[in-house]
Amino acid sequence: MAAAAGSEHAAEEGTLSIYKAARRIKRRESTLYNALRSVADDAAFVAEIAALWPALPLVANLRCGLWYAQPRSLAATCYFKSTDGHAGNWGFSTARLNLHLALLAGERGGCIIVDSTRKGKRFPDSMAKTIPIWCCVLNRAIQRHRLRAINQAVVPNGDAEEYSGSSNWDSSVHLPVWVLETEKNAIEGHIEEWADLFESCGADIHSLALGLQKPLRPLWISQNTRIWLNEVPDHQLWDFTPIILVSASASGAVATQRTASEFSWRYIPGAGDDEESWARGLTPTLFWKHSYDLLDGGPDLCNQLVADIVEKDRVYRAQRGEHSPQVIVKHVKCSRHGLEPYTGDHTIIAQPMNSNPSTIAPANTQYSNGGHVVFWIGTSNLAVGSTMQVADGLADMDCILNCDSTSRLPPSSSEDSYLELPIVGSKDERFSLLNNLPKAVSFAKKNLIARRKMLLCCQNGEDISICVALAIITRLFSDTGCFDCGESFMRRDVTKLEMRKRLVFICKYAVNARPSRGNLRQVYGFLCNEKEQLPC
């Protein structure tokens, strides 16, 4: 019995040893230096493609795409999730409309989107299906809008010729050839439903119809694509607005050995994905700022160089009162890796047919050298931003609502003009936002009555601050966008459609908005609770 038990234990030890050996090999290949080298190698390919059409703006699909282009070469960012393109789970998200991308493509004649995947595929599902679905739904909605304008004889002056061709407007689904016909037919069966959803959410389709003279159409380019440099087509001659989808990484599923200068390194497809697991606090901006030093230092010095760069940046931000968490790397054996100008006293949420089209970047959006600082939400006296970037833009604010649980901003002299709510995301605490929204709305109501300009900020300016703004606008503003202290809220029902319309309105100005589903649920729960507490 003892001998049998001993042999079984030895067998288990042998199995564990094989597993540990496999994990050790994987960790040796997936080092920080290998990841950064792979990113730089793939970024060179992206730069070559972008140089073929220099007139087209280069756009990064968050978050992975940010690693594959230098910040100064990016015209904008977009956010398309691969989950919306997974087989059997196709969808069109009204929380990620990316209308600024469509307007940018219409103004510049198209755009180039960069992304990557580490799953051994040539293209991520965000490029293979999510973006093609998005193009088709927008085309279908624009076609409907133009046909209605023609039938109602309300075609704008000078646009009659363009609108007359609406019957030939291409609104069909264009998917890559490797997508099965059955899957393509299933997606086509949902297009009308998604177009109805897009029209019902209150999006400004009129501005899209004026900004896009040709329908959107995706094109796919990877490292396996053959391009004859003496026959590069002119995008202006195409009868559509090209959305060129560039998959940065090679599609090989197995890492390959490469050599550059005096260092040998292993290529990792899609190395920029899932940055929390390997980047050790390094961001794309910091990487490209110090790329020469990091890559020339070699694999032996890479980890220490990254640690020094991240710490210096943290201290730099901390001295200026910005978000500056300390990055802790556990060195253990199981570690995986060695706005629109002011036009009145209210905000328009749903624009009429003859409204003036909005610009690509709203005029009341403030910028800094590091990127977007704050986004003014129309004329509501509300602005959203990130505590990592707003330090230089506080002078124009009368009051601040800080929703960042990790960072403190310099408070104003009056207690009435500064409120700090330590709100965390739904993944960390399910009801953090819900429990703090009553205080946030009460603070906003008091300051909006006094006609003060208020800043709503969170750690990244993309999630919690957006949800707080959504709760405030839904609770305190009327359907036409007038601040009424919540009188209209008492007379209308709380529905997800109404909340979706206001979210679309916010995203029109805060183009970097990425509210999570869990936080949106908490906003809806708060609004329902507020409705129940109102007198009958």
Examine residue 4 and state whether it is found in any structural domain, yes or no: no
User: What pLDDT shows up at residue 424?
Assistant: 87
Q: Are residues 311 and 453 in the same domain?
A: no
Phi-psi region of 408 (alpha: psi -120 to 50; beta: other; left: phi over 0): beta
User: What pLDDT shows up at residue 347?
Assistant: 35
**What single string gives the DSSP state of each residue in 266-327?**
EE-TTTTSSGGGTSTT--HHHHHHSHHHHHHT-HHHHHHHHHHHHHHHHHHHHTTT---PPP
- Total domains present in the chain: 3
Q: Are residues 307 and 223 in the same domain?
A: no
**What single string gives the DSSP state of each residue in 43-67?**
HHHHHHHHHHSTTSPEEEETTGGGG
Cα–Cα distance measured from residue 170 to residue 216, given in angstroms and rounded to the nearest whole number: 8
Helical (H) or strand (E) element with 402: strand 399-404
User: What pLDDT shows up at residue 121?
Assistant: 82
Q: Are residues 86 and 211 in the same domain?
A: yes
Q: Are residues 422 and 314 in the same domain?
A: no
Q: Are residues 442 and 307 in the same domain?
A: no
Examine residue 258 and state whether it is found in any structural domain, yes or no: no
Tens-digit pLDDT string for the chain (536 aa)? 555 555 554 444 455 577 676 666 666 667 899 999 999 999 999 999 999 999 999 999 998 999 999 999 999 999 999 989 888 889 999 888 999 999 999 999 999 999 998 877 889 999 999 999 999 999 999 999 999 888 876 666 555 555 555 558 999 999 999 999 999 999 999 999 999 999 998 888 999 999 999 999 999 999 999 888 888 889 999 999 999 999 999 876 555 666 665 778 888 888 998 888 899 999 999 999 999 999 998 888 999 999 999 999 888 877 765 555 555 444 433 333 333 332 333 333 333 323 333 333 333 444 333 444 789 998 889 999 888 766 555 667 889 999 987 766 665 556 678 899 989 888 888 899 999 999 999 999 999 999 999 999 988 889 999 999 999 999 999 887 788 888 888 888 888 888 999 999 999 888 889 899 999 999 999 999 998 887 76
User: What pLDDT shows up at residue 22?
Assistant: 61
Cα–Cα distance measured from residue 456 to residue 466, given in angstroms and rounded to the nearest whole number: 8
User: What pLDDT shows up at residue 333?
Assistant: 39
Cα–Cα distance measured from residue 476 to residue 82, given in angstroms and rounded to the nearest whole number: 35
- Chain centroid offset of residue 406 CA: 22
Residue 511 vs residues 351, 372, 458, 461, 522: alpha-carbon distances, Å: 18, 10, 16, 11, 22
Phi-psi region of 282 (alpha: psi -120 to 50; beta: other; left: phi over 0): beta
Q: Are residues 315 and 455 in the same domain?
A: no
Q: Are residues 429 and 522 in the same domain?
A: yes
Domain that holds residue 398: 374-533
Q: Are residues 177 and 218 in the same domain?
A: yes
Examine residue 503 and state whether it is found in any structural domain, yes or no: yes
Query: What CATH number has the domain bearing residue 440?
Result: 3.90.190.10
Residue 144 vs residues 119, 148, 215, 307: alpha-carbon distances, Å: 38, 6, 13, 54
β-pair partners for 108: none
Examine residue 331 and state whether it is found in any structural domain, yes or no: no
Phi-psi region of 120 (alpha: psi -120 to 50; beta: other; left: phi over 0): left
**Amino acid letter, residue 339:** L
N-terminal to C-terminal alpha carbon distance within the chain: 77
